[in-house]
Amino acid sequence: MAKPSPGSQCAFCGKDIGQPCRGGRPKDYCDPACRRRAQRQRDRERRAAKPSHTEWQVITGDLFVRTQQLLTAGSDQLDLATALDLTARLRQDAECLAAVAVDSARCNGWTWTEIATAAGLSAAAARARWGGVRVQRLVSERAQLSKSEPTDRHLPLPVSSNETGAPSAAASKDSAVQELGTALRTLHARSGVSLQFVSDITGLSLPVITAMFDGCRVLSWPETYMLSHALGGDPQDLQLLWHWARGVPLPTGAVTGPGRLGVALRGAQLAAGLPDIAASCPPGLSVAEACAALAGEAAPDWPLLSGFLVSLGADPSRFASLWMAARAAQHPIRTGER
Question: Which of 173, 182, 250 lies closest to 213 in space, CA to CA?
Answer: 182
Instruction: Tell me which of 13-27, 109-123, 156-170 is least confident.
Output: 156-170
Question: Which of 84, 189, 159 lies closest to 315 in space, CA to CA?
Answer: 159
Asked if residues 28 and 4 have their Cβ atoms less than 8 Å apart, the reply is yes
Is pLDDT at 338 greater than 50 in this prediction?
Answer: no
Top-level class of domain 169-246: mainly alpha
For 227-253, what is each residue's pLDDT tens digit?
A: 999 999 998 899 889 988 888 776 655
Q: What is the DSSP letter of 160?
A: -
Residue, of 310 and 25, whose pLDDT is higher: 310
CA 170 to mean position of chain CA atoms: 16
Residue, of 116 and 151, whose pLDDT is higher: 116
For 87-107, what is each residue's pLDDT tens digit?
A: 888 888 888 888 888 888 888
Is pLDDT at 159 greater than 60 in this prediction?
Answer: no
Burial (CB < 10 A; 0-12, 13-18, 19+), residue 168, is exposed
Strand-pairing partners, residue 16, are 9
Looking at residue 174, what is its pLDDT?
74
For 208-219, what is each residue's pLDDT tens digit?
A: 999 999 988 888
For 165-191, what is each residue's pLDDT tens digit?
A: 344 455 566 788 899 999 999 999 999
- C-alpha 234/C-alpha 175 separation (Å) is 22
CA 50 to mean position of chain CA atoms: 21
Q: Where are the domains of the chain?
A: 54-141, 169-246, 252-330
